[in-house]
Amino acid sequence: MISPTHNRLAVAYTKAEENSILVSTLVDLEGGSNNQPKVYTVLDDGGLCSNPEWATCPVRMACKKCQFHVSMDVARVVAARKSVRRMP
């Protein structure tokens, strides 16, 4: 028989797995071309990724070398814009 503690642990792992694919993004409503919003993915190093295909990017572990990487200093400027909304 599974104890309630083990059951709660299993539920917690299941919820953590479901949430593991969620990422934070910044949406700049005026940042893109042709009045289209520009979406940035928030990275662990404090920078941003401007690649619209971030989820399927083959170099996701080497972001700093990628042309779509936005450094931490520039990311702060982008995040401070009034037209930017943060999506958790």
Global pTM? 0.71
Q: Is residue 3 part of a domain?
A: no
Number of domains comprising the chain: 1
pLDDT at residue 8, rounded to an integer: 74
Q: Is residue 58 part of a domain?
A: yes
Query: What is the residue range of 69's domain?
Result: 22-87
User: 13 or 40: whose pLDDT is higher?
Assistant: 40
* pLDDT tens digits, one per residue of 76-88: 999 999 989 998 7
Cα–Cα distances in angstroms (integers) from residue 83 to residues 4, 22, 32, 46, 88, in the given order: 48, 23, 11, 20, 16
